[in-house]
Structure formats: structure tokens, C-alpha cells
Amino acid sequence: MHIDILTVLPELLESPLGHSIMKRAQDKGHLTVQVHQLRKWAVNAYGQVDDYQYGGGAGMVMMCEPLVAAIEELQKERTYDAVIYMTPDGERLEQRTANRLSLKENLLIICGHYKGIDQRVRDHFVTHEISIGDYVLSGGELAAAVLVDAIGRLLPGVLNDETSALTDSFQDNLLAPPVYTRPAEFRDWKVPDILLSGDPKKVEDWRHEQALKRTQERRPDLLQ
Ligand code: ADE
């Protein structure tokens, strides 16, 4: 998969995407991410990419010209399966959104700032609008990093058996069960006997039961 990201703050994306599993995904060639400084397509030598909003009011709006020039230049290189705008008024990011997007080949992600981007870019270029939750961040970069991480770890070959996404919370609409590691007894807190039983069927049943219990307690909405 290839992902292009348009932003005025490329630095904000370097660290989250440059470590751990996202780094490995890129090193192994499963994922390429190119972060583009939007100011490269600025309307003047000052690097301007935003302007006052029509109708008045506080807050700047990211202009059509730089965004459209950037998108159209990138579109000459490749055809995008989705042009995604990160915005708090978008559709909430869920595991199923990440699953679906992980099947695509080329994604373009636009990070907004200030009051957001000119509506005409949303109307004519954006195919998906995604929010990572009901709160407002100061820009779309951290949201984009969350989205790329959620998608990137699902790409075939990125996770090994130990980190397999199949046992993640949400993958089957259940939260993940509790997990334990050595020692089997710490202070007087013991690991549940079943996990030490060596009986894979019993362990699997216990995990399913615990996953159900946890989901019932914490996220009953997932079971409906
Ligand atoms: N940009 C600002 N806030 C955001 C959010 N909650 N989700 C996605 N993009 C955003």
C-alpha cells in the first residue's frame, strides 16, 4: 500500500510513523508513506496556504488553490482509491473502517488546520471524511497518524503470529480478554489456573468467555 499525506506540519507525522510496527511495515516494503509539505504549493513566496473566511468570523480556512494543485500533481503519479480528509465532523473511525481501507492500494490523506479546508475541496476531491472521535484536535496530523497506524498494522506480513490482528479487540466485535505473563504468582496474585493448564481448548473457551464478560461490562453497545 502507498499513502500520501498532505500537511503543513510534516514533523508531527515523522515520529509516530517512524517507529515500531509502522517503521517495520515500511522497512519490509509492505507500506510506503510520503508526507508532503503543503506549502510547496503555496499561493505566494510567503508560503501562504490559508486565508480569512468569507462571511467573517474568527479562524482561517485552508485555501483551494494549494490543496487542489497538490492533489492534482499527486494524482498524475497514481490513482487514489480514496482521498481522505481528517475532520471532527467526519465518519467515526472504527475497526471496520481500518479493515476496509487496508484492502486499498493508494490512499491520499489531507490534514486540516485552523477552521478546516475550503468546502469546494471537500465537494470535488475528497471521497472519505474521517474523525477519530468527538473532540477537536489542533490539526489533522495526529488523527492521520492514528489512521495510518490502524491500517498499516493490518497489511499482510506486517504483524507476525505473536502480534496477529485477529485476536485484537473489536476484530469480532468483542473486547480482548485479560492477558498475563510470568511469573505465575506475583505477591499473592495468581494467574488463572486454566491458562497454566496446557489445554488449548479450555484456554480458548475461557478467553472467549472473558472477552464476552468484558464486553458486556464495558461496551454492551458492541453486542447489540
Ligand atoms: N482534526 C481535528 N480534530 C479531529 C478529529 N477528532 N478527528 C479527525 N481529524 C481531526
Q: What is the pLDDT of residue 40?
A: 98
Inter-residue contact 107 to 148 (CB < 8 Å): no
Looking at the predicted structure, is the pLDDT value of residue 163 above 70? no
Q: What is the pLDDT of residues 15-52, one digit of tens each?
A: 999 999 999 999 999 999 999 999 999 999 999 999 99
Distance CA 27, CA 157 (A): 12
- Give the global pTM: 0.94
Asked if pLDDT for residue 171 goes beyond 90, the answer is no
d(CA 151, CA 63): 28
Q: How far is the CA of 91 from the centre of ligand 1 (A)?
A: 10
pLDDT on residue 168: 84
User: In this model, does residue 162 exceed pLDDT 60?
Assistant: no
Q: How far away, in angstroms, is 224 Cα from ligand 1 center?
A: 27
The span from the CA of 176 to the CA of 170, in Å, is 8
For residue 136, the ligand 1 atom closest to its alpha carbon is 3
Quote the DSSP letter at residue 161.
G
Tens digits of residue pLDDT in 57-86: 999 999 999 999 999 999 999 999 999 999
The rounded mean pLDDT for the chain is 96
Nearest CA to ligand 1 atom 4: 88
ipTM: 0.98
CB atoms near residue 117 (< 10 Å): 26
Domains of the chain: 2-153 (3.40.1280.10), 169-222 (1.10.1270.20)
C-alpha cell at 100: 476496509
Task: Specify binding-site residues.
Answer: 112, 132-137
pLDDT band at 161 (very low <50, low <70, confident <90, very high): low
pLDDT given for residue 169 in this prediction: 83
**For residue 104, pLDDT beyond 80:** yes
Query: In Å, how far are 5, 8, 66 from 36, measured between CA atoms?
Result: 6, 8, 12
Pairing of strands 82-92, 60-62: unpaired
Distance CA 14, CA 32 (A): 13
Q: Which residues line ligand 1 (CB under 6 A)?
A: 86-88, 112, 131-133, 135-137, 140, 143
Q: What is the largest CA-CA distance in the chain?
A: 69
